[in-house]
Amino acid sequence: MKPHLVHLRRHFSTKYTARITSIAPTGRSLAAEVTPPPPLPSDARGYLLPRRDLICKATQILLSPPPSSLSDPFSDLSEYLESLSLSLTPLEASEILKALKNPSLALKFFQLCPSLCPDFRHESFTYNRLFLILSKSTNPSRFEQARSLLNHMLHHSVRGSISTVNILIGFFGSGDDLERCVGLVQKWDLRLNAYTYKCLLQAHLRSRDSSNAFRAYLDMLRRGYKLDIFGYNMLLDALAKDLKVDEAYKVFEDMKRRHCEPDVFTYTILIRMAGKSGKTDEALEHFQVMLAKGCTPNLIAYNTMIEALAKGRMLDKAILLFSKMVENDCLPNEFTYSVMLNLLVAEGKLNKLDNIVDISKKYMNKQIYAYFVRTLSKLGHASEAHRLFCNMWNFHDKGDKDACMSMLESLCSAGKMTEAMDLLNKIHEKGITTDTIMYNTVFTALGRLKQISHIHDLYEKMKQDGPPPDIFTYNILISSFGRAGRVDIAVKIFEELENSNCEPDVISYNSLINCLGKNGDVDEAHMRFKEMQEKGLNPDVVTYSTLIECFGKTDKVEMACRLFDEMLAEECTPNLITYNILLDCLERCGRTAEAVDLYAKLKQQGLTPDSITYAVLERLQSGGHGKLRFRRQNPITGWDLFQAHTRYIILGWGFPFSDLAKINKTLEKNKPTSEISWI
């Protein structure tokens, strides 16, 4: 295969004209008089005008993809300039930088320029162009590169222009870098212009420094400059957010005095500031002035005014403004409805919610209904949520899954299980597929209410028609049946779990162990504990605490203590519940010394005893062990003799004085009203 030869045609950037003066007799040579090109044109300031053909060619060389991996565009550019004896001017270099845009490529070209031409010296043009390129970059190192470039500029004594300062203020925007940029004005003997002040103002506002922004604004006024409407609104917004009311109104008055007409955003800022300050009448006045000036309120303006009225508890005016908003074809959003709904709840006027729905009926869709249902459910107004949900159900063919889920959770939380199961059975009528989360929500509520028959029926329906159970379903069912004492069904569910696609987890075993142990089958519970360890599952603090309690209640104290030691050996940290369970176990068996040692361990672990801990300690010191005790008051002092005796015993057993004070406080708090009580 013959190699392809690529012929590169050189394009010259400078043309020469010549006049032939003589020709040799043979015709093979001639003499010509060349007219040199005219000097490069310059502008009124004396700067050489850039040669566009040279700029285009240099840019093309640098941006064109290299023909081979060995090619270097910067070497090609250098050769091109040398072959024509051309040199770049700073202005031409700036124009080339403008076309490059890529920060890495631009920096490399910037560094190469002095080597391309011996007399080349960077001026503010090239620095400014490179600062602009870095300011538009997203490279994390861009700030450090800009600082380095500024140091390079100062080191070579290049005097920047006010444009340099403006670019740097906009680029850095805060901190020591901003102060350094402002200091360059004095260093280079420059004069701040209107754009510099605008950049400085924006920099302070971006860093949320409204105080310095206001000072820059006052300095700007002294120099005879003024802001545009955008600048005024930015400054007003920052001052209003910081509730600097006097400064905000000064800026507003200056704005009008300088014939800058406030717009809808200006008035919205003032309304929000007055509303936050609790000056609802003042906010209303601003809103009326806005309307009188011919400004058409937008969604933000309406929402801000409605929010101010809500803060002032002006319900009727808020409803009236909401109706005007709808009349003017301004579509309310979720924030609008949330403000109105919270106001109705705060004023106890939820009966007026139908009025809100009726006013905005042309905008009411299932998403808005869903929002009302979700919000009312979260606020605990299940009846209102259910009523609106029924409206949505009747008016829309397709349902909203989030609304259905919120309604289901609300009904379950309110214990309305008949309605919840009815919704779960009918939800498919609105094109919504029931999922496992919905079933689990209902299972959890039924289990809490111990409605076992409903759980069983719903589980059978789920297996037949619904989604497949997941690990959470099985865990909920095991716990629910165990809580109701139906150990046989709980064990059956666990076996179904083992035969399913799900694997039992620690929670599954915890639920089963709790079910077995609390219903008297401690040996089976212990066997399941061993089984989960054999399967590679690590028992957690709940597992150990549950089993320790089971052993304690069946007077198997040795097993409970051995399990506690095993728990520590496995680096499973006991919590306060674990200690309370074992303390209670030791107290009931009369093992006082071990109980005191256990209490010391509790304190060493940094746990804070609670009322249950102190109640156990009280029984421990009394020596009652659950027996009937008589409490008699001293006829002289009124002290409970038993409590006084308890205090001395506790002190004698070496409890710290800080613990003694807490125990005394607990004893005083729980002082019996009857002379006879159970310990």
According to the model, what pLDDT value does residue 653 have? 40
The phi and psi torsions of 22 (rounded to 5 degrees) equal -155, 155
Cα torsion angle, 354, 360, 365, 369, sign? negative
What's the pLDDT at 38? 59
Q: By C-alpha distance, which of 546, 534, 539, 601 is closest to 578?
A: 546
What pLDDT, in 10s, does the model give residues 515-561?
998 888 899 999 999 999 999 999 999 999 999 998 888 888 889 89
pLDDT for res 152:
92
Q: Is 15 exposed, middle or buried (0-12, 13-18, 19+ CB in 10 A)?
A: exposed
Cα(443)–Cα(420) distance, rounded to whole angstroms?
11
Average pLDDT along the chain, 679 residues, taken 10 residues at a time:
44 60 78 66 60 85 79 84 78 87 88 83 90 90 92 91 92 86 91 89 89 90 88 92 92 88 93 92 94 93 95 93 92 90 89 86 78 81 81 74 83 87 86 90 92 90 88 93 90 92 91 89 91 91 91 87 90 91 87 87 89 85 50 35 35 43 48 33
The residue with tokens 């008589």 is 630
Q: Three-state SS for 145?
A: helix
Helix (H, G, I), strand (E, B) or coil at 536: coil
On whether the CB atoms of residues 612 and 580 are closer than 8 A, the answer is yes
Contacts of 665 (CB under 8 A, 6+ apart): none
Query: How far is 385 from 408, CA to CA, in rounded Å?
Result: 11
CA gap 180, 272 in Å, rounded = 36
Cα dist from 174 to 142, 201, 535, 554, whole Å: 15, 11, 59, 70
Token look-up 């009236």 returns 320
Residue written as tokens 């006045």?
285
**What distance in Å separates the CA atoms of residue 273 and residue 305, rounded to the nearest whole number?**
11
Compute φ and ψ for 296, nearest 5 degrees: -90, 115
pLDDT value at position 554? 85
Cβ atoms of residues 188 and 158 within 8 Å: no
User: Which pLDDT value is given to residue 15?
Assistant: 58
Q: pLDDT by residue (tens digit) across 261-280? A: 999 999 999 999 999 989 99
Q: How many angstroms separate the CA atoms of 264 and 67, rounded?
A: 58
What pLDDT is recorded for position 43? 55
φ, ψ for residue 612, nearest 5 deg: -65, -40
**What pLDDT, on the 0 to 100 scale, is given for residue 641?**
31
DSSP-assigned beta bridge partners for residue 640: 633
Residues in a beta bridge with 30: 23
